[in-house]
Amino acid sequence: MVDNTYENTNAGASGQAAPVGGGDVAATGASAATAAAGTPDATVNAAAGTAAKTTKTTRRKAAGSSSKSSRSAARTRSSRSSKAAKPVVENGAGHAVPIAIGEPNEFGRVDIMSFAPSVEDDVFPARVELGEPFHVSAEVFMEGRAKVGATAVLRNARGKAICTVPMTETNAGLDIWEATLQAADHSDLLPWEDGYADIKKQLGHHTVVIQGWEDTYASWVRDARIKIENDDDVENTLEYGAKLLVRWAKTRDAGLSAAGKKQLTEAAKVVANTDLSSEERLAAADNDDIAVLHAEHPLRDGLTESRPHPFRVERPKSSFAAWYQFFPRSEGAYVDEATGKIVPGNFKTAVSGLERAKAEGFDIVYLPPISPIGTTNRKGRNGALVAGPDDPGSPFGIGSEEGGHDAVDPQLGTMDDFRAFIARAHELGLEVALDFALHCSPDHPWVKAHPEWFNTKADGTIAHAENPPMTYEDIYPIAFDNDLEGIEKESVRIMNHWIEAGVTIFRVDNPHTKPVRFWQDVIAAVEKKHPEVLFLAESFTRPSIVRALAYAGFTQSHCYFQWRNTKEELEEFLAETNGVGGYYQHNTFWPTTPDTLTEYVRDNGVAGHAVRAVLAAMGSPSWGIYNGYELIENHQMPGTEEQADNEKYEIKVRDWSKADEYGISVLLASLNAARAKHPACRSYHNLTVLKTDDPSIVAFARRTDGRYSGTGKDDTVIVVVNLDGHNEHKTLVHVPLDELGLPTDRPFKVRDELTGREFEWSWENYVSLAPWADVAHILSVEV
């Protein structure tokens, strides 16, 4: 949804605002100044040429002179630019004129500072999904009592303004101005679908600039009201106002229609008519009709533009995604009655996993590594150091005499079987994500071909992976200091190999154990050829490394959601995930994984699984489920937070008919249906934590303004969850109606997306949740 309410159409021959210089606050130059003053085109072009020529001269001097000379040149340039466009003086009162800017530390005529979101001096762009509303703010101000206005402009990679929004001053004392922008509309198109080429054109590196200007009209109205009320210099004030209205009507930057110009000129005649009372004269310029013109087509004096701030607009599913993980070898596996041995599944039987994921409303299917598994030091059940003759080994022990990272495990099938599996996924509207684990078994071809890629012990043997007290004798980690370039090249080759087979997403295993620069190089190389590919970082580690990996190009990140279980922990983590950090790091909420099963999930039974699913699905735009969750697989390996009978080391034979006994699969489908229905669930930037009185009940709301919802209607969802899987809890939920744009003078109707029941809500709302009835409400607001 694009709102081009107004854009500078008069600065320079291109019809767009033409910054002079490349500094921190890039003024639109003398051409904008003279245009604002109603100067003829010849004068506009001459003034613009003077400013540009002066800037080039300054840059040449700066390249070969001292800092003192640079400062002197800058002062000279600013002085000349001021001369190029002198202010129009009316009865002693002038209006602001742009000041050219050539250095990052120079201010323009209007001061613009503290742009947000911004990190690391804008080295890394903020990231949003196509159609996802996002918030920007800045300090915009001038000297003295002058009023200012501000506009936020989103430009695409070609420099074209695609969204222009007037900003609102939200804190006058601190000069803070804010706006919400949106790059096009939300889309669910996938990379292989018809029409995606048009989506692709809208992606990539964008910029946001803040335009600030002196709001001469608003300043005049404020002063005129006071002067007329106090009978102070009334005639001069009104005469100045009449001339201001005429100048406004002639200013092409305002983008006025013929009717708007006529409205202003007619108003100017009344303001200048000395036969009328001063109140009548002012009323001609101070009324609702003129206020509309002022809001939509303002007179912008001293127009100043900030430096561009980078934003990366990413494809559908980069932020709003629902993941489903399963092991192909367990899908369709069964016990042979004759031998008593497990017959593993393969890519053909694994279609059942695709169909289950689709039925439950997920849109990404994630597979662990599918390459051949080594036999040297192969681990047995639950990670036993000695494997039995029928133990299949861990898929993460990659590589054998049958091939390495670019080969398919023969037990699963052939490459053609894998392509057919992906084709079926695409028919169902599912993306396939593949695990990329950059380590290998002792049997991997790399061990002989590239011994320099591995660390060795003092005795000359290759060091296996370890995280004391845990050891992974079946895995050799990669060393990056001997041949970083070669390892990067091979990693890119492998990823491209799987992309050509139909993979569109990589879930990367333990990226935090490799150099961040390595991933930055690899992801950039892959995206250069395949910009549609997404990356999920499985990095349960320190926040600094997780954030750095996000900066390096990981689209989404595993996070510590699983260990945030108390009300206080959840409220803090929800705000963090959906706050400013959400522009750079997209936390994906998973209740469990094959590696992690918390005490909360272990101890709270079916209700606990339901609670964590609701929090994951509604607390983040991106969430995921590891299969078996529907069957309440919640037994821990003793002394650990890992799943007992871990699927990493064995083939699971599951009876999926038992899922009906628990109802979790139905809940998962309901959660994904609610997410798909409500635009408010798509954003990392619209969550408000709600106050509740009970320490076991957490509540939050998501709201998307109707201008950005795609439906034209505001969309608000309120989530209330009882964290106690054993006991009933009651509370009052306090809703800040004014902040959420909800009715403040009457109750409004809410509908529970999980049960269909309806309630009336207002400021204070009584809620009772019992784990044997409802663990949560997901309430859609109907007003």
| 649 labelled binding-site residue | yes
Burial class (CB in 10 A: 0-12, 13-18, 19+), 355: middle
- Please state, in angstroms and as integers, the Cα–Cα distance from residue 690 to each residue in 355, 365, 699, 768, following that order: 37, 33, 5, 16
| 474 labelled binding-site residue | yes
For 717, other C-beta atoms within 10 Å of its C-beta total 25
What is the pTM for the complete model shown?
0.86
Cβ distance 101 to 173 under 8 Å? no
- Are residues 419 and 282 part of one domain? no
Whether 767 is covered by a domain: the verdict is yes
Three-state DSSP at 226 gives helix
CATH number, domain containing residue 185: 2.60.40.10
Of 283, 314, 345, which residue sits at a domain end?
314
| Three-state SS sequence of 387-413 | CCCCCCCCCCCECECCECCCCCCCCCC
User: Distance between CA 619 and CA 569 in Å, rounded?
Assistant: 13
Q: What is the pLDDT of residues 672-709, one digit of tens each?
A: 999 999 999 999 999 999 999 999 999 999 999 999 99
* Among 727, 739, 667, CA closest to 703: 739
Spatial strand order in the sheet of 729-734: 758-761, 748-752, 776-782, 715-722, 697-704, 687-692, 729-734, 764-769
The pLDDT, as a whole number, for residue 460 is: 85
Amino acid symbol at 177:
W
Task: State the DSSP code for 364.
Answer: E
- Are residues 326 and 342 part of one domain? yes
- Are residues 741 and 655 part of one domain? no
User: Distance between CA 322 and CA 676 in Å, rounded?
Assistant: 10
Residue span of the structural domain in which 747 resides: 681-782
Whether 131 is covered by a domain: the verdict is yes
- Are residues 339 and 193 part of one domain? no
- Are residues 325 and 310 part of one domain? no
Cβ distance 202 to 130 under 8 Å? yes
Rounded-to-5 percentages of helix, strand, coil across the chain? 35, 25, 40
Contacts of 6 (CB under 8 A, 6+ apart): 151, 164, 166, 254, 255, 296, 297, 298
Task: State the DSSP code for 20.
Answer: S
- The catalytic site residues sit at 509, 538
Whether 38 is covered by a domain: the verdict is no
Phi and psi dihedrals of 721, rounded to 5?
Answer: -130, 135
Please state the domain count of the chain: 3
Compute CA 563 distance to the chain's CA centroid, rounded to the nearest angstrom.
Answer: 23
- Are residues 548 and 407 part of one domain? yes
- Please state, in angstroms and as integers, the Cα–Cα distance from residue 528 to each residue in 193, 212, 433, following that order: 20, 36, 19
Burial class (CB in 10 A: 0-12, 13-18, 19+), 331: buried
Whether 4 is covered by a domain: the verdict is no
Task: State the DSSP code for 642.
Answer: S
How does strand 505-509 pair with strand 431-436?
Answer: parallel
The pLDDT, as a whole number, for residue 75 is: 39
- Are residues 291 and 142 part of one domain? yes
- Are residues 328 and 308 part of one domain? no
The pLDDT, as a whole number, for residue 463 is: 87
Burial class (CB in 10 A: 0-12, 13-18, 19+), 560: middle
Q: What is the pLDDT of residues 439-469, one digit of tens each?
A: 999 999 999 999 999 998 888 889 888 877 7
Cβ distance 701 to 778 under 8 Å? no
First to last CA, the chain: 23
- Are residues 222 and 148 part of one domain? yes
CATH number, domain containing residue 559: 3.20.20.80
The pLDDT, as a whole number, for residue 471 is: 77
Considering only the C-alpha atoms of the chain, give the largest distance between any 2 of them, rounded to a whole number of Å.
Answer: 110
Strands (E), 215-328: 301-305, 309-314, 321-325
Whether 269 is covered by a domain: the verdict is yes
Whether 40 is covered by a domain: the verdict is no
The pLDDT, as a whole number, for residue 755 is: 96
CATH number, domain containing residue 738: 2.60.40.1180
| 379 labelled binding-site residue | yes
Whether 5 is covered by a domain: the verdict is no
Compute CA 334 distance to the chain's CA centroid, rounded to the nearest angstrom.
Answer: 43
Strands (E), 108-196: 111-116, 126-129, 134-141, 148-155, 161-166, 168-171, 176-181
- Are residues 216 and 154 part of one domain? yes
The pLDDT, as a whole number, for residue 512 is: 96
For 459, other C-beta atoms within 10 Å of its C-beta total 5
Q: What is the pLDDT of residues 216-235, one digit of tens each?
A: 999 999 999 999 999 999 99
Beta bridge partners of 398: 373
Cβ distance 131 to 186 under 8 Å? yes
* pLDDT profile of the chain (783 residues), mean per 10: 35 30 33 33 31 38 39 38 44 76 90 96 96 97 95 95 96 96 95 95 96 97 96 96 97 96 97 96 97 96 96 97 98 95 97 98 98 95 92 96 97 98 98 97 96 91 82 90 96 98 97 97 97 95 95 96 97 97 97 95 97 98 98 93 94 95 97 98 97 98 95 96 97 97 96 97 97 96 90
- Are residues 498 and 465 part of one domain? yes
Whether 740 is covered by a domain: the verdict is yes
Q: Which two tokens mark 31?
A: 């051409």
User: Distance between CA 646 and CA 652 in Å, rounded?
Assistant: 9
For 214, other C-beta atoms within 10 Å of its C-beta total 24
| 713 labelled binding-site residue | no
The pLDDT, as a whole number, for residue 282 is: 97
The pLDDT, as a whole number, for residue 337 is: 93
Q: Which two tokens mark 363?
A: 């849109």
- Are residues 349 and 242 part of one domain? no
